[in-house]
Amino acid sequence: MQSTKSVRCHHLGEVDYHQTWQQMQDFTDSRQSDTQDELWFLQHPSVYTLGKNGKIEHVLNPAGIPVVNSDRGGQVTYHGPGQIVVYTLLDLNRLKIGVRDLVTLIEQTVIELLASYEINAYDKREAPGVYVNDAKIAALGLRVRKGCSFHGLALNVDMNMEPFSRINPCGYEGLEVTQIKDFVEDINVADVVGNLQQKLLKNISAKQKI
């Protein structure tokens, strides 16, 4: 566990989706006005998750991979080993930002991260996430309760991409999906986690000072 004055970071390894989702809800429901914000860095075993308004028809052929109906925003996505998941447990009221501001902060942090690997990435206002050459490299799905966010970001680093071919990623038929490994052959997931954590903490801290 690492922390700054206002954000505590947990590195959880590979953990079950259901269990972690429940822990996020428990944390959010029990937190007080002075509860320290947290970032959870982790990976999930193979699982498809549907957002609260997700449509099951976007899951074309799960082929034995579990499908979970989640309470996050967004449509369907895939989680698996080699993908960095960051759950953003932040008090938005205290940060004085809205959900759209948080989405932008996360997207810009990922774009900054990818630029450090000489990958030219960008966001799309109409379709949250981060893209490279029209292929999605990072997906976002958030939920806000009591003015506090949970769920967050999934960044594809070095993983088996085949399961994405069995869904319409984020509800878009034919959307291509990519990963850092496609652009940087010698990539290490742990190194990316450290880089991402540093940049997220910096950008959250910048919001706190406004």
Residue range 189-202, pLDDT digits in tens: 999 999 999 999 99
Q: What pLDDT, on the 0 to 100 scale, is given for residue 2?
A: 47
Residue found by looking up tokens 């799905």 in the block: 141
pLDDT at residue 148 is higher than 90? yes
Can you give the pLDDT at residue 206? 87
Considering the candidates 85, 140, 170, 201, report the single residue annotated as catalytic: 170
Q: Residue 63: what pLDDT?
A: 93
Residue 158 confidence (pLDDT): 98
b or e along 193-203 (b: 16 or more beta carbons within 10 Å of the residue's beta carbon)? beebbebbbee
Query: In the chain, where does DSSP find H-type helix?
Result: 17-30, 92-95, 99-115, 189-208
| pLDDT per residue as tens digits for the range 69-100 | 999 998 999 999 999 999 999 999 999 999 99
Residues 182-190, mean pLDDT to the nearest whole number:
96
Distance CA 154, CA 80 (A): 10
pLDDT (average), residues 175-191: 97
Structural contact between residues 88 and 152, judged by C-beta atoms closer than 8 angstroms: yes
| CB contact at 8 A, 47 and 65 | yes
Burial category of 142 from C-beta neighbours within 10 Å (exposed 0-12, middle 13-18, buried 19 and up): buried
Q: In which band, very low, low, confident or very high, does the pLDDT at 4 lie, cut at 50, 70 and 90?
A: very low
Higher pLDDT, 54 or 84: 84
Q: How confident is the model at residue 3 (pLDDT cuts 50, 70, 90)?
A: very low
**Residue 120 pLDDT exceeds 90:** yes
Catalytic-residue membership of 9: no
pLDDT given for residue 6 in this prediction: 79
* Polymer length of the chain: 210
* pLDDT at res. 5: 56
What local confidence, expressed as pLDDT, does residue 126 receive? 86
Q: Which domains occur in the chain, in start order?
A: 2-208 (3.30.930.10)
